[in-house]
Structure 1
């Protein structure tokens, strides 16, 4: 995968590269994405942008209408076709104007329109989410727009510990956090784990600096509410 180097953004006729990072909830996808963006952007004009998939969560009002709110985070609770449309735009309309992607506000547990700017100078987009390698529904359209997909995995006890702690930080009681991490999130983790063999590279979450989940820094950290599951 090549984005043509780190400088000289703004040239027309050269499409962006898009790197996907998949993995189960709490495995460290956001940590890996943010580390890549930070290190690649160090010492010069930022040329790498981070676009999480979580901005394509369906709003709670729509999940209620569809009867899916009790399993929020499952593959069919995202707008996968909309996500694919954004990725296509990011690839094909590079270097013209700023593209605004939706974010996800964890305090509200709701998508947030126009929260993630991708400037014209961005030549590489790092996007992360659970279902980048899924073969059902509209998800294959997503995979077709990614130059590579890396799979981030973490030992199950540590992944669950981080996931429960995250749910507690954003308002769930310890009992609710445990139930959600082992219930809906657990089922989703099984779906994601079954896609591991399709990845171009597997990254061990234990190898990352820090404790793995950027939300461990708390809701007060700039941007902490826009992290992937």
Structure 2
């Protein structure tokens, strides 16, 4: 099913966090590597849900590797003329993310630890080699906006992910979260609203068009 022809609402599964933890646990196979992806529009709650899942599963079972670690540096975005739309799909190192996901999927017991980058919102930059991924952890949880996009290197990343869940909260809730996030990181209320309803909303429309490729479309109760 494609979201362009099928309404997201028709396929939403309303679930509790406990149910999501159970679904994630069902993916775990001791001694093997599985990858679970969470996607959705800006403000969908991807980071929060991913962190809650990993915390509930415990460090011996799951580790979180966000896509946001692959934001292109601000100086690169300035050189490319894309700084004013940071967060769009072509403002990420999608090839680097795909290669990392491939490496993590193939990681086995006895292999070295892999170090993934982390995005720091307070400085709006990525920090390399910030997240250690042990080969003994059976489940990697990754989250980001473009896990289901069908252009550039995003499909290559998706090919190594076992399941992708699309988070679909009510639009008003999503917008409220975005406004609070932008204000928390220094934007004025006016600038926060301009960004949330401008670049964020354009990105959201593209992301929501990919929901039909998800294994589950989820709304937390």
TM-score higher than 0.5 here?
A: yes
Q: In structure 2, what is the Cα distance between the partners aligned to 1:151 and 1:115?
A: 26
Deviation at 1:30, TM superposition (A): 1.3
Equivalent in 135, 146, 149 of residue 150 of structure 2? 135
The structure with the largest helix share of the pair is 2
1:146 aligns with 2:161: yes
1:18 aligns with 2:35: yes
Deviation at 1:78, TM superposition (A): 0.4
Secondary structure at 2:152's aligned position in 1? coil
Q: Which TM-score applies when normalising by structure 2?
A: 0.85
* Paired position in structure 1 for 2:28: 3
Q: Which TM-score applies when normalising by structure 1?
A: 0.82
Secondary structure at 1:197's aligned position in 2? helix
Q: Deviations over 1:142-178 (max 9, x none)?
A: 1111111000011111100010100110111111111
Q: In structure 1, what is the Cα distance between the partners aligned to 2:129 and 2:195?
A: 29
Deviation at 1:31, TM superposition (A): 1.8
Q: In structure 2, what is the Cα distance between the partners aligned to 1:76 and 1:134?
A: 11
Secondary structure at 1:185's aligned position in 2? helix
Superposition map of 1:147-186 within 5 A = 147-186=162-201
* Paired position in structure 2 for 1:119: 134
1:28 aligns with 2:42: no
Secondary structure at 2:28's aligned position in 1? coil
* Paired position in structure 2 for 1:73: 87
Q: In structure 2, what is the Cα distance between the partners aligned to 1:175 and 1:116?
A: 35
Native 8 Å contact 2:117 2:130 kept in 1: yes
Secondary structure at 1:86's aligned position in 2? helix
Aligned residues: 195
Cα RMSD (Å): 1.3
Q: In structure 2, what is the Cα distance between the partners aligned to 1:83 and 1:57?
A: 10
Secondary structure at 2:118's aligned position in 1? strand
Q: In structure 2, what is the Cα distance between the partners aligned to 1:161 and 1:47?
A: 33
* Paired position in structure 2 for 1:200: 215
- Structure 1's consecutive aligned runs of 4 or more residues displaced over 4 angstroms after TM superposition are none
* Paired position in structure 1 for 2:15: none
1:103 aligns with 2:127: no
Structure 1 runs not aligned, ≥5 long? 6-10, 208-229
Q: In structure 1, what is the Cα distance between the partners aligned to 2:112 and 2:64?
A: 16
* Paired position in structure 2 for 1:214: none
Secondary structure at 1:88's aligned position in 2? helix
Native 8 Å contact 1:94 1:123 kept in 2: no
Superposition map of 1:19-98 within 5 A = 19-41=36-58, 46-95=60-109, 96-98=111-113
Deviation at 1:93, TM superposition (A): 2.1
